[in-house]
Structure 1
Amino acid sequence: MKKFKIILSILVICFMFATIVACGNIEKPTSADTNKVEGSKTETAKAVKDDAIYYTIGMNINIPYWQDHKKGLEAAAAELGVKAVFTGENGNDAANQINIFEQVLAKKPAGILVSPIDPEGMIPAINKAIEAGVPVVCIDSDAPKSKRLTYFGTGNYEAGYAAADILAKAIGEKGEVGLLTIPGIFCLDERQRGFEQRIKDKYSNIKLVSVQNDEGDPTKAASVTSQMLQAKPNLVGLFGDDAASGVGAAAALREGNKLGKIKVVAFDKDSAVLDLVEQGSIEATMVQRTFTMSYYALKFLNDYNNKSVKMATDMKGINPLPQLVDTGIMVVDKESAKKFK
């Protein structure tokens, strides 16, 4: 009997090991279209039609920031066995992004992930999709007044709030500072609001003396930073709350022989920014979990379609998803920059 128990135990362990190995085998996506991702057909996605496609609609999609979003989308699509397409507005033209959304909606997709440039302007399009039975999740930038199911992304007000603390420490909690941003984009407006509020609440000896529009372009960021330096010669710090601002600000400071003297806090983690942080030219950069946003947002959409997300009681017409998921922020400084390369 004892011998039988030992043999049985060995068989159970072998079965468990085989099961674990089998579950860990994930097929990589293959597609001729670099913007279309196809996963292997799996049981998870069987409730979604074979020809159904999920779409991600971004903004300013050619900047490095969106590469991790695409990787997250690819990984989730491969695991779920669904098709996904990454598209969007090449710049920050809100009207064109809405047109792209309408074109995607006409294709009757399985679902849409969108980063709205103009949340208010995007409301009718999002609501139209929801009413047509196409689920919509916001990523990166939210449209909280719309009928979107949920938001996956950074708590941008909190990120701006934290950036103020980092810059304040770098400049000794006193002096004049400037801000580079793109006005009218909800996520950036929230970062600016958090930054300004924190300075107002805690740092009475810090004064925000200039806010400039860099248009999401490093060249423009360099130009407006140079103008800021001339107009505000006592400037001691800069916060760039969009992905293009850090590199542009650093270029202008280098040209003006003030690199390292005027402290800079940037946003996001393209290679040029990380190099500048590692060199000590930029004090720190606020890094978002971009892969996580798209990866889990697509999984939530697919679960929603497959009715895999349930509530404690059956309440028809009630959205079972959380209203928002804050994916957090990581502060990258000189000591930690190498980890993100």
Structure 2
Amino acid sequence: MLRATLFAGLATLALLVPAAAADFTLSPAIKARAEAKEKPTFVVSYHDPALSVAVPMRTGAEAAGKELNVNALFTGPVGGGAEKQVAELENWITKGVDGIAVSSSSTDALAPVINKALAAGIPVVTFNTDNPASQRLTFVGQDLVYSGVVMGETLVKEMGEKGKILIFTVDAAAQWSKDRENGARQALAKHPDIAIAGLINTTNEPQQIYAAIENAVLANPDITGIISLDCCSFPAIGQYLERNGMAGKIPVVGSDLLPQTRELIISGALTSTITQNPQRQGHDAVVVLNEIYAEGKMPPSHTDTGVEVIDKSNVEKHQAE
């Protein structure tokens, strides 16, 4: 088993304030409220609050709200959908909230509304999933490409330098998925004897996830490894392997540490997970917004919440997220 390694803690990756942040100024109304020390309202918009990984993000955002005595509203389009998220954000811009943190369901679709909020003097940061096409002031979260690299490297260490693998994701079109896939492919490309049989887009409905896993594994009986790019197809893969007498026979590397994922690592059905500290992502997004509002402090371009590998050797030291 691969020993867990902390690749990065919470650290800023850029020492200089980015140009977009340097040029940003609060709207007169927000600035007046800040100078009067009024309690601000910050919106934390996640791309799909129905996902299990959203729970610790909400917990973190709401905890920061209590610590800082600010209103932290965790919201987003249940079930996902870029159009719905854009409509919600348009509504918050009209209401004149004091800051917005966004995890984008689509980079291209969300960039214009993010820029619209910034043009109106509302500070906007991204968290969990970045939107590099926008002028967002900072990104609070894991380096997603790097997390994909770690996934690929971890699988190679468990599987060896030859084989055939499948990659699963609940949303192949999402920026976070593209970034992790890119990173995983970068790592695997260093090993020409490893073939990627396919990228399987499961969607995020539980029955569809399981069916997609079953169909893909049955169609590729000679696979020697699996990568899951997300929180939710990962435990479903472990379930499938357990039910079909394959637990422990195929190394499986994925993301996040949901309660079911934790149990499946303990049982040996899943091999390793790459955690991203989702609670801290929600928490620190609110902290950064409050620093902008209350102190006029502009953030660095990226606040990294880290990459940690958890496997059977250390999983019992970690609580589910």
Q: Secondary structure at the match of 1:274?
A: helix
Equivalences for residues 218-229 of structure 1 within 5 A: 218-229=206-217
Q: Of 270, 277, 283, which aligns to 2:271?
A: 283
Aligned pair 1:195/2:184, yes or no? yes
**Residue of 73, 83, 101 corresponding to 2:71:** 83
Alpha-carbon shift at residue 49 of structure 1 (Å): 5.6
Aligned to 1:261: 249
Kept after mapping to 2: 8 A contact 1:178/1:235: yes
Deviation at 1:306, TM superposition (A): 2.3
Matches within 5 A, 1:33-72: 47=35, 50=38, 52-72=40-60
User: Paired residues, what number?
Assistant: 286
Question: Equivalents in 1 of 2:301, 2:276: separation in Å?
Answer: 19
Q: Which amino acid is 2:175 matched to?
A: F
Cα contact 1:48–1:306 (8 A) shared by 2:
no
Q: Which residue of 2 aligns with 1:140?
A: 128
Q: Is the 8 A contact 2:241 2:269 kept in 1?
A: no
Q: Deviations over 1:16-40 (max 9, x none)?
A: xxxxxxxxxxxxxxxxxxxxxxxxx
| TM-score, with length taken from structure 2 | 0.85
Question: Which runs of structure 2 are paired with 1:200-279 in the superposition (5 Å)?
Answer: 200=189, 202-279=190-267
1:333 is matched with 311
Query: Is the Cα contact below 8 Å between 1:114 and 1:139 reproduced in 2?
Result: yes
Tell me, yes or no, if the aligned pair for 1:177 and 1:207 is still in contact at 8 Å: yes
1:136-191 per-residue CA deviation (whole Å, 9 max, x = no partner) reads 00000111121111100110100010111111111122110000012111111100
Q: Do the aligned partners of 1:55 and 1:87 also contact (CA within 8 Å) in 2?
A: yes
Deviation at 1:303, TM superposition (A): 1.2
Equivalent residues of 1:218, 1:247 under 8 A apart: no
- The structure number with the bigger radius of gyration is 1
Match of 1:108 in 2: 96
Distance (Å, rounded) in 2 between the aligned partners of 1:175 and 1:196: 14
How large is the RMSD of aligned CA atoms in angstroms?
1.6
Output aligned runs, 1:118-157, within 5 Å.
Answer: 118-157=106-145
What whole-Å deviation, never above 9, does each CA across 1:224-253 have from its counterpart, x for those lacking one? Answer: 111111211111111011111111112222
Percent identity (aligned): 28
2:172 to 183, 187, 201: 183
Residue of structure 1 in register with 2:87 after alignment: 99
3-state DSSP of counterpart to 1:209: strand
Structure 2: how far apart are the matches of 1:48 and 1:207? Answer: 61
Q: Could you say which residue in structure 1 is the equivalent of 2:9?
A: none
Provide Cα deviations, 1:54-110, integer angstroms capped at 9, x if missing partner: 111112212221122122212221221111111111122111111111122222111
State the match for 2:292 in structure 1.
304
Q: CA deviation at 1:278?
A: 1.0
Q: Give me the TM-score of the superposition, normalised by structure 1.
A: 0.80
- Verify the 8 A CA contact 1:54 1:110 in the aligned structure 2: yes
Q: How far did residue 218 of structure 1 move?
A: 3.6
- 2:314 partner amino acid: S
Cα distance between partner residues in 1 of 2:264 and 2:205: 17
Answer whether contact 1:226 1:253 (CA < 8 A) is retained: no
Partner residue of 1:324 out of 302, 311, 315: 302
